Amino acid sequence: MTLFVHLMLSLLLALGGMWSTGTQEPQPSIDAGTTIPESQPVAESRDVKAESEDEEAPRQFESAGALLSALEKADKNIRTFTAQIRYIRLFEIQGDVQTRLGYLAFETDPPVEIKQDFAVPDQAQPIRKRSVAVRFDKFIAGGRQDNEERLWVFDGEWLVEKNPAERQFIKRRMVRPGQVFDPLRVGEGPFFVPVGQRRQDMEGYFHTALRDSDHGLTDDFDAERDALLKALAKKLDGLIQLELRPRQGIEQVEDFDLIRVWYDPQTLLPRASLSVDPLGDTDIFELFDIDLNEVRRPLAADAFSVQIPGPEDGYHVEVVDRTLP
C-alpha cells in the first residue's frame, strides 16, 4: 500500500484547488520531467492581494496562508474530477528514472451545509464521502515503454490494489460498515490526502511558503536530472507554487521531507506536484486533459468498483479487515 500512499499524498494534495471548469492541457513530453520560513497566520482580507470577482482573472496571493484559505473552500462545487496523469519517479541512490502514464478519477458527495452556531467555535461541517481511483497502464524505463497495468481504488469503505501482471488482488476494509468519515482528512484517515483541508490543519502539519514557479527545480550534482527538472520548470512557468515541509514529530507526514504543488493562477486548478521522501527519492506528477463534474466525458459506472475477480480470472485474492481490533 506504500505506493498508493505516496500517490495520494503527492498527487491529490492538489485537488483542494479545483473549483473552475477543466481545460484541455497539451500532453507534456515524456522526457520533461530546498529552505523554508515558517508561515505566519494573517487575516484573509489582507492576505489576498488581488482576488477579482471575475474567475478568469489571475489570482495573486501575498502568503501561503492566503492561498490555503482559498483552497479550503475551493472544492465545495466539485463532484467529480478526472485527468490523465504522468508520474515520474527519480531514485536518488540508483539514479534511475521511471515513468508511469495513466488516469485519475475522484468523486465526492455534495456538501451539506449546516447552520453556523456561533456559540460553538470551529464548528465542523458534515463529513463527505470521497472515492478515489488511480490506474496506470504504461511503464517507461531505460528508454523502453511497456504495457503494465496497476490499479488502486478506494470507494469510501474498501481499498483495493490490483496487479494484473502478477494476478494479485488485495482488498482492505478501512472503514467500518455504516460509518461515514473522510479518509482523506489530515490526521484522521488510514492515509493522508489533504483534499479541501482546513487552513489551520495544513499549517499545523506543515511549514508553508509561496515560491517562484521554478524554485527548487534544479540539481547541481546530476546533469541528466538537472535537465529534466529545468524542462519541467519551463512547463510550469507562471504557475503558483505552494511549498510544504512537514513539521517534525508528526506521524501522518513523516514519509516526506518536502512537497511542492503548482496551481493555475486563473482557475486554481492543480497542474503538477513534486514530493521528496527521506531517502531523497522524488515523485513528480503532471495532470492534463482535466475534466470537472463530467462536463466533457461521463465517469465510468465501474470507476470505483472494488468487486473481487471471479475464480476464472485466476487472481490470488487477499481480503483484510483493518477495522478489527
pLDDT digits (tens, 9 = 90+) for 27-61: 333 333 323 233 333 333 334 343 434 455 678 89
Lowest mean pLDDT among 73-77, 108-112, 126-130: 126-130
Exposure string over 93-129, b if 16+ CB within 10 A, otherwise e: eeeebebbbbbbbbbbeebeeeeeeeeeeeeeeeebe
Neighbour-count burial for 257-267, b at 16+ CB within 10 Å, e otherwise:
bbbbbbbbbeb
Domain membership of residue 130 (yes or no) is: yes
H or E element, residue 204: helix 199-205
> Looking at the predicted structure, is the pLDDT value of residue 269 above 60?
yes
Domains of the chain: total: 1
The better pLDDT of the pair 254, 305 is held by 305
Taking the C-alpha atoms of residue 73 and residue 273, their distance in angstroms, rounded to an integer, is 20
CATH of the domain at 146: 2.50.20.10
pLDDT number for residue 126: 54
In angstroms, the CA 103 to CA 288 distance is: 10
Tens of pLDDT, residue by residue over 75-107, are 677 889 899 999 999 999 888 999 999 999 988
For residue 117, being part of any structural domain is answered with no
At position 121, the amino acid (one-letter code) is P
> Which pLDDT score is estimated for 16?
44
The overall average pLDDT reported for the chain is 78
pLDDT in tens, 170-227: 999 988 877 765 545 554 444 444 445 678 888 998 999 999 999 999 999 999 999 9
CA dihedral 211, 214, 219, 224 (to 10 degrees): 150
Inside any domain, residue 29: yes
Residue in the block written with cell 478568469? 56
Q: How confident is the model at residue 17 (pLDDT cuts 50, 70, 90)?
A: very low
C-alpha neighbours within 13 Å on the C-beta side of residue 68 = 26
Higher pLDDT, 55 or 260: 260
Which residue, chain included where needed, has cell 505516496?
A: 6
pLDDT above 90 as % of the chain: 45
- Which domain does 27 fall in, by range? 2-112+122-321
Q: Has residue 272 been placed in a domain?
A: yes
**Does pLDDT of 302 surpass 90?**
yes
